[in-house]
Every structure is written in structure tokens, then in C-alpha cells.
Structure 1
Amino acid sequence: MSSNTSSVLLNTGVQMPLLGLGMYKLCGSEDVFQAVDAALAEGYRAFDSAAVYGNEADLGQALKKLLPKYGLTRADVFITSKLGPKDQGVKAMDGALHSLSQLDLDYIDLYLIHWPGTQGQDVADQRNPGNRAQSWSALEELHAQGKLKAIGVSNYTPAHMRELIQNCNVRPALLQVEFHPQLCQAELKALCKEFGICFQAYTSLGRGKLVTDPVVIEVAKNCNRTPAQVLLRWAVQQGVSVLPKSVNPDRIKENAAIFDFTLTDEDMDRLSALDCGHRYCWDPSQVV
């Protein structure tokens, strides 16, 4: 799957690549095929989709066609998908099985609850905790059946995580959240470390805004790398896995070149000092 220097051990005992291709807003079979083809060529072995992305079927078809091209099998790649917020609660089992069907796989390596709330319900709706618990129970059942090799959550706050940890039968393998130098998520990272939960980043480049930050640019010049590579390296150097999204083969190649250099402690500290709690995506903190 991946060398130990570029992977992280999940609490299921499986190695997961530190670098994956994010599939958010990758729409249409042609774009998905092009991105997956370029990613496999550059050594990517992890792909992150979701029910709400609308591309699970396209990803599954692309892998079926492309894995033989690169002499790979299903076991050589790590596939993540996520439960749609519309299926939170009573529909969770059907939602997860639909993802499995769309991907046309016998199992999904990692399946996440995408959001702590429920589509169509207010963030303050007191049914949210019960819906989350019901979803997790469904994922635990599918995990026991071997259909979901690992299960986890996305966009959970420290409060949501503590609620889950206290009540689950199967501890989450991973938490995926927005994470970059302007949003260091120290409390969540510490909580995940305490309970042996992998911490994974999305929006590592701040939706393209962080590559123009003066500090990021200066650090990049000092180590003769691109700002994007520096931002991704800042995360993986902390053992945090990243999911940069691109359909551009050159960008995909650039994003993969983050394991052959190291940021100095000073550069790491300078980047971390940018932390100001700024989010480029949704804020889950209001979801009860």
C-alpha cells in the first residue's frame, strides 16, 4: 500500500496513506477518470469521496479501469467515503450500503459520518445526538460484517467526539476536519492523540487563499518549494494525513512531492503561529 514513512497506522491495525486525493467538487466521469489516472501515476493510493459529492460511482468505475493499467489490485488502494447528512439516523444503514453499491466494491476501507447534524433539521434540534448515535450503531454493524473496514467521523467538535467516545462500542479510527496553519485545532488534535484516533485534514490550502500568505511564501522560497507543498508538508510532518483536491495532472504531481524534504522547527513554528481560528468551510460548533 505505502511505505511506513508516508503512511499512518489506524487503530484497526491497517496502514493508511498520509496523502490521498480529495474528490470534493470533482464532477463528471471524465474529470474523475483524469484525476484518478494522474494520481495513480504519481503514487497516490488513497481516494476520498462522499455520498454528497455525487462521484462515488465514477470513482468506482475509474478504479476498475485504471488499477490494471498500473498493475494494482483493490487491496493496493485505500477508499474513503462518507454518510450523507440526509441519511443521518434511521436511514444510516441504507445510506452506507448505497455508498458501497455506488462504488461497486465488496468493502470500503474507511467510512465516515460526514456531519454531526441532520439535513433538514435545525442545528439546535435536540434529536441530533440521537441521530448521531443511531448512525454510529449502523456503521458499527457494517464494520462487524467486514463491509466497512474502519469507521470514523468528519466535522465533529471536541464535544461531539467526547459524546461518541463515551458511548461507542467501536472507537472511531479517524476524525477528518478542516486543518491548516490558520486553524490548528489544538484541542481536537490532543483529544485524538489521547484516544488513538487518526487526525486527518481537509482544506489544507485554505481553498487556495493560504498559498498567497506572505509567511507561507517566504518559507516556500527558503526551502525551494511551492507554497502548496509547504502547507501540505506542515501537516504530514505532524503525522496528519492530507487530501488535496485537483484535476490538474501537474498540480497532482506537485502535491505528491512532499515526502522528500523537511521543514525546520523554526519554519513549523512560524506557520503554526498563523493560527487565528479562521475557517474557510462550515462551522460545526453550533450543532448540538
Structure 2
Amino acid sequence: MLSNGLLMPSVGLGTWQQRDPETVQRVVAQAVDMGYRLIDTASAYRNEQSIGRALAQKFNDSRSNLSRKDIWITSKLAPKQHGYDQAIAAVNESLTNLQTDYIDLYLIHWPGVSGRAPEYPGHRKYRESSWKALEDLYRSGKVRAIGVSNYTKRHLQEMSEYAKILPMINQCELHPLFPQPDLLQYCKDNNILFTAYASLGEGALISDHAILPELQDVSNARSDLTRAQILLLWGLQHGAAVIPKASIVARLQENLDILSKKPLSDIELDMLASIPAERQRHFCWHAESVS
């Protein structure tokens, strides 16, 4: 549950790097048919129009028995769209692309503005004005919830100085090799729901056994789970929603099936918590250096 009382699905479909219109529409339609109720996108992914078409077809198909209120849509403000007026325009464009009159969750994708060095002192000014725009969009009902993505603890702490509405979500990379315990705890303490992306380490954690041998130890003990399911359950059991991406039916089903699986035991969680700090790494962008 978000801080404003909304219930968000704990497992969703990630769509990063999926741009081919036919593929996107097929995957979204298949996911919805399987029972996915959260679709995560961003203006930077350049697939909002395809997602909008796929969902509109489902909503207009009497056989699907689905309406707009049944699907949670998350989208995000691109780094090049920072600023009050730009953020307002970006949300309106996303609404048009997604063929909807509201977005369930809208996030600031990155705490810095594009085209500037990480140490650029104006990053704060841009993200502050972007956040004020999101607050106004939230009050207007165009977005039902607002949050951030890739914000470090420092960026979140800074928001308390200017935000009238604190973020309801922080979406960041999270997996056993990048567990971010301090950030997770800060979000928990401040009623900010965590959403994990790159739960599979961009596929590396399930394709290269040498990167995370502890995962194989858990897999040996849990023949009922795939390596991907173990990692997704790990995210859920750390209090995060998960949004794995997939493009084939079998993988889509495998990811969704975690909702019916037995949780990891304390022993199994301990196996994945034993990774020394020097082995920890992230696979995607990280905002620690953004001023």
C-alpha cells in the first residue's frame, strides 16, 4: 500500500529496452491475459504509444472483461524533461500516448538533468521544480501517485526541504549483489514503497553462475524455483515490488508464478545475504555522483 492508501500490484511487467511496436503490443497483451495488472514504462523507453494501443484494445474487447481501473500504469519523466513546464508537458504527452486520462504512478526517472555533468549544481533546482509540477499534477488527478526513481538516500533527504508531498515510491536497482540496505531502511522508515528493477542483474545473475554462486546454493535447495524466481522472491521478501521484463510467454508466466510460490526460508535468505561488500556491484546507472 502506498502512503496515500492506493494499492499497487507487487509484481509488474517491465518494458525497458522493448521498442519494437509489434513486440511491445504482443507482450503487453499476453501479460494482461496472464494476469499482470501493472505495466511499467517511461517516456525515455519510447514505447508508451505501443503500450497505449495494446491496453486500449483490451479495454475495448468485451471478451477481456477489463477496464482502465483494472490496470496500474507507471511512467516516468525523462532527464531531458526536467523543469516545471517541461514536466507538465511530459505528463500530458504521456497521457496522450497511453490513451488514458490519468496515470496511476508517475516518477522522476533520474535526479539529474541530461546534458550536464554529475557535479552540476543546478541539478537540485531542476528536480525541485519537476517535483512541484508532479505535486500539482497529483492534486489535479492526472496522476494518482507520484514518486522518484534512482534517488539515493541523500536525494530523498533533500526532498524534505522542499516537498509538500513526499514521494510515495522510489524505484531503484535491487538484487543480492546490490542490496542497498541503508536506502531500503530509509524508505521503510519514511513510508516510501520500494520498487526493484534489474532484479536479475540484467540477466547476468541467471546466465553466469560464477557471478553469484550463492544463488546456485539456494537453487540446489529449492528445486521448485528457477533462479529467476529466487531473485524475484528475494526482492518481494525485502519489501519491494518487482517489475521483471520478459518477451516470451514462458518467461512471463515464470515471473508471475512467484505469487503462488513458497517464500524463501530464513536460511535461504541468509545464503544470499552472505556476499561480502567487495563483491557487490550494480549493472545499471547509479546516481551516487549526481549533486
TM-score (norm 2): 0.93
Q: Give CA-to-partner distance per residue, 1:50-105, whole Å, 9 cap, x none.
A: 00000011101100112434211100010000001101124221112211121111
- Rounded to whole Å, the distance in 2 between the matches of 1:57 and 1:275 is 43
Aligned with residue 194 of structure 2, among 195, 199, 202: 199
**Shift in CA distance, 64/86, structure 1 to aligned 2, threshold 3 Å:** same
Range 61-70 or range 176-185, more displaced: 61-70
Indicate whether 1:218 and 2:221 are aligned: no
Q: Give CA-to-partner distance per residue, 1:253-280, whole Å, 9 cap, x none.
A: 0011112211110101111223634110
Task: Give the SS at the match of 2:100.
Answer: coil
Indicate whether 1:48 and 2:49 are aligned: no
Q: Counterpart of 1:236?
A: 236
Q: Size of the alignment, in residue pairs?
A: 280
> 1:12-91 counterparts in 2 under 5 A?
12-67=4-59, 68=61, 69-90=63-84, 91=86
Contact 1:57 1:102 in 2 (8 A): yes
Task: Give the SS at the match of 1:102.
Answer: helix
Contact 2:27 2:247 in 1 (8 A): yes
Q: Counterpart of 1:270?
A: 271
Contact 2:149 2:172 in 1 (8 A): yes
- Rounded to whole Å, the distance in 2 between the matches of 1:272 and 1:65 is 44
Range 50-59 or range 89-98, more displaced: 89-98
Q: Give CA-to-partner distance per residue, 1:205-241, whole Å, 9 cap, x none.
A: 0011111332212212311110000000011122210
In structure 1, list runs of 5 or more residues that go unmatched. Answer: 1-8
CA RMSD of aligned residues (A): 1.2
Indicate whether 1:169 and 2:168 are aligned: no
Letter in 1 for 2:229: Q
Q: Counterpart of 2:182?
A: 187
Letter in 2 for 1:82: K
Indicate whether 1:286 and 2:251 are aligned: no
Range 38-47 or range 173-182, more displaced: 38-47
In structure 2, list runs of 5 or more residues that go unmatched. Answer: none
Contact 1:115 1:154 in 2 (8 A): yes
Letter in 1 for 2:55: L
Q: Counterpart of 1:160?
A: 155
